[in-house]
Amino acid sequence: MISLAGRDILHAWGKFIFTGIGLGLLIGVTLTMAGVYRGMVDDGKVLLDNSGADLWVVQKNTLGPYAESSSLYDDSYRGILALPGVAQAANVTYLTMQIRQGENDVRAMVVGIAPGGAGIPGWPPYLVAGRQITRSHYEAVADMATGFKLDDRIQIRRNDYTVVGLTRRMVSSSGDPMVFIPLKDAQEAQFLKDNDAILQNRRRIAENPAFNRPAIPDLLDTVITSQSSNPYVNAVLVRLKPGYAADEVVEVIQRWKRLTAYTRSQMEDILIGKLIATSAQQIGMFLVILAVVSAAIIAFIIYTLTLGKIREIAVLKLIGTKNRTIAGMIMQEALGLGVIGFVVGKISATFWALIFPKYVLLELRDAFSGFIVLMIICVLASIIAIHAALKVDPAEAIGG
Amino acid sequence: MEGGGIRIEGLHKRYGKGETAVDALKQVDMRVAPGEVVGLIGPSGSGKSTLLKCLGAVIEPTAGRMILGNEVIYDNGWKITDLRALRRDKIGFVFQAPYLIPFLDVTDNVALLPMLAGVPNDVARTKAMALLQALDIQHRAQAMPSELSGGEQQRVAIARGLINRPPVILADEPTAPLDSERALAVVRILNDMARQFETAIVVVTHDEKIIPTFKRIYHIRDGITHEEIGEGREFD
């Protein structure tokens, strides 16, 4: 049987293509929004994957180190290392800040990594250029998204660092690229004050009678020294020995070290369920609104196209065409418009996702679900036009 | 009725109820034999279109009797349940404007009805081509309606009306948009088709140019038909 919808689309292809492009851009935005959400989730998973840890040990009763601040002594890892089932334990610090490079600055997450070389939890698992950090100070490995290049000089707080290695897809849960520096430098950077503040602080301590006792002349120097160093890290990353269950080791750490530990799945729940939950709801609302707007636009377009054919529809009805055929024609045109829109939207989203500042992950399953939802929207949107077409009186084709 | 055609007896159509009721058709009697073309003329508001709509099974009369071919379709109530099929199989329509489907070429416009009824596309197109040849427009078979002149469009519309070989064709002002020459050409075609396919054709018209060509004319005034003998002028 002849396809009236197909012939109409072929005949008025310009109208359908341009309308489809307009609709496609809207669909592209919808797919991109879904991609932004997927990108956020993926950033969280990548963060966990790249840390190389099986467990995250953090300050007691906190959701650190990513969702809440967490602070624990930097010697805690020694005690953890001695527990059964623990193969490796390494300190790590995280600090999101603006890193200066010449006149510009880049928002990045500075990660302080414990000495020991690649393979230690927290270290970037692979590089795309250069080498890993080999010196104790002032070397950095940066994610390519920072825009830094090998041998670039970057400034973190008051110190300059040389970029010795580049890595890729090493991002924080909020998508900021990571810059890895030695742990000691990172600890210093977290609490480093300017010179005036240091002088002020020393004077305040010196004026405190409790620290300035004539009977104990070394007390003041001891206190000042202790205040100028930072013995804290944000978390201890733990790698398990083969054959040990993560839950059991978590229980041992929490019982004997008075710290909180999370397994991989728990940490994923924190990142995805808590940290990006509000953003996900925000994006979800956008998706709902975009779906409603798309439905309204498709309905309006199909309704307008149908009204433009009212006389032909009246003739078709008068000469005995079944309602089913007319309804089928309108619905197929709506679906055709949806298909054109989807193709345009998918292509647009694929291209413009690359230029987004943060990672946009376009998944095939989202595209498939989006296509199904779009087809349902097209069917529903065509109902108004079908209703209008079926209401047309065939007598309209006869004058008088 | 012998041999098919159209027979209408005492047809009555009332719009509305009570004091606002209007009798659009009061007493319509009409006979059109197979192969005959009759004119239906009358002033505006006389009931022409209402009669055409009743004959076309588009609106229901209030009373009377209608026979199409050898089948009683109305006798103080519809005797046919599927009016859509009746219109598709038994009645051909030709309108004032051709109302061709703009996104189908000439062949498919003509072949549309059988194709929608499930006849294989190639069979329907072959049938359409034969009709287009009979109407001497086969050279425009692949053209789109927008590429045709008014006369050509009307010939295609006639071919579409004839594709299912209906016993009856209802033509509503088919020559209105055409000049004298083309209008007469259309009437000649209708006469030829009526003879060739044994079709009863009713032509509703105001067109003074074609009225003299009818052998029989029904005047309709105030909802009542009056039969007259026409000039039956031969075509040159």
> Which residues, in sequence order, are bridge partners of residue B200?
B168
CATH number at residue B49: 3.40.50.300
The chain-wide mean pLDDT, for chain B, equals 88
Residues in chain A within 8 Å Cβ distance of B87: 318-320, 394
Q: Does B127 touch chain A (CB under 8 A)?
A: no
Among B57, B184, B21, B96, CA closest to A319: B57
Alpha helices in chain B (DSSP H): 48-55, 83-90, 106-116, 121-134, 150-162, 180-197
Encode pLDDT of A242-258 as tens digits. 999 999 999 999 998 88
With tokens 């998204």, the residue in question is A145
Question: By percentage, how much of chain B surpasses pLDDT 90?
Answer: 41
Q: Which residue does chain A place closest to B24, by CA atoms?
A: A400
pLDDT at A102: 80
pLDDT at B235: 63
pLDDT at A111: 95
**Minimal Cα–Cα distance from B228 to chain A, Å?**
23
**In this structure, are residues B30 and B53 in contact, taking their beta carbons and an 8 Å threshold?**
no
**How are beta strands A178-182 and A260-263 bridged, if at all?**
unpaired
Count the domains in chain B.
1
Q: Does A319 touch chain B (CB under 8 A)?
A: yes
**Minimal Cα–Cα distance from B62 to chain A, Å?**
17
Encode pLDDT of A337-349 as tens digits. 899 999 999 999 9
Answer whether the bond into residue A65 is a cis peptide, omega within 30°. yes
For residue A183, name the pLDDT band (cuts at 50, 70, 90): very high
pLDDT at B1: 40
Interface of B with A in 137-176 (CB under 8 A): 144, 160, 172-173
pLDDT for A193 beyond 60:
yes
**pLDDT average, residue stretch A18-46:** 90
Length of chain A: 400
Cβ separation B103–A316 shorter than 8 A:
no
B118 → closest Cβ in A1, A395, A399: A1
Q: Does B108 touch chain A (CB under 8 A)?
A: yes
B116 → closest Cβ in A11, A315, A325: A325
Cβ separation A315–B172 shorter than 8 A:
no
Cα–Cα distance, A167 to A145 (Å, whole number): 9
Cβ separation B115–A322 shorter than 8 A:
no
Domain hosting residue B99, numbered range: 33-61+82-209
For every residue of A109-177, DSSP letters joined together read EEEEE-SS-TTSTTS-S--SEE----SSSSEEEEEGGG---TT-EEEETTEEEEEEEEESS-B-TTSPB
Give a yes or no: residue B52 inside a domain: yes
pLDDT for B2 beyond 50:
no
**Minimal Cα–Cα distance from B74 to chain A, Å?**
18
Give A397 or A369, the one with higher predicted confidence: A369
> Coil, helix or strand for A95?
strand
**In this structure, are residues B189 and B135 in contact, taking their beta carbons and an 8 Å threshold?**
yes
For residue B234, name the pLDDT band (cuts at 50, 70, 90): confident
pLDDT at B200: 93
Q: Does A400 touch chain B (CB under 8 A)?
A: yes
Least confident of A123-127, A164-168, A242-246, B154-158: B154-158
For residue B180, name the pLDDT band (cuts at 50, 70, 90): confident
The chain-wide mean pLDDT, for chain A, equals 89
**pLDDT average, residue stretch B97-113:** 89
Least confident of A131-140, A205-214, A366-375, A376-385: A205-214
pLDDT for A177 beyond 80:
yes
pLDDT for A223 beyond 80:
yes
ipTM for this prediction: 0.77
Cα–Cα distance, B68 to B49 (Å, whole number): 18
What's the token pair of residue B11? 């047809």
**Minimal Cα–Cα distance from B2 to chain A, Å?**
26
Encode pLDDT of B41-75 as tens digits. 988 888 888 898 899 888 999 999 999 888 899 99
Q: Which helix (H) or strand (E) holds B29?
A: strand B22-32
Give B192 or A167, the one with higher predicted confidence: A167
Question: By percentage, how much of chain A surpasses pLDDT 70?
Answer: 99
Top mean pLDDT of A17-21, A215-219, A279-283, B216-220 is at: B216-220
**pLDDT average, residue stretch B151-160:** 88
For residue A95, name the pLDDT band (cuts at 50, 70, 90): very high
Other CB atoms within a 10 A radius of the CB of residue B133 amount to 13
**pLDDT average, residue stretch A68-90:** 92
Domain ranges of chain A: 4-44+277-397, 60-192+234-258
Cα–Cα distance, B108 to B144 (Å, whole number): 10
Contacts of A4 (CB under 8 A, 6+ apart): A325, A328, A329, A332, B101, B103, B104
Encode pLDDT of A315-336 as tens digits. 888 888 888 889 999 999 989 9
Q: Please, what is the Cα angle at A396 between A394 and A399, to 5 degrees?
A: 125
pLDDT for A399 beyond 70:
no
Among B25, B103, B110, the strongest candidate for a mutation testing the A interface, having the largest count of A CBs within 10 A, is B103
pLDDT at B28: 93
**Taking CB atoms and an 8 Å cut-off, how many pairs form between chains A and B?**
85
Give B234 or B38, the one with higher predicted confidence: B38
Between helix A323-352 and helix A277-307 the angle, nearest 10°, is: 140
Give a yes or no: residue B75 inside a domain: no
Q: Which helix (H) or strand (E) holds A105?
A: strand A104-113
Encode pLDDT of A12-31 as tens digits. 888 888 988 998 999 999 89
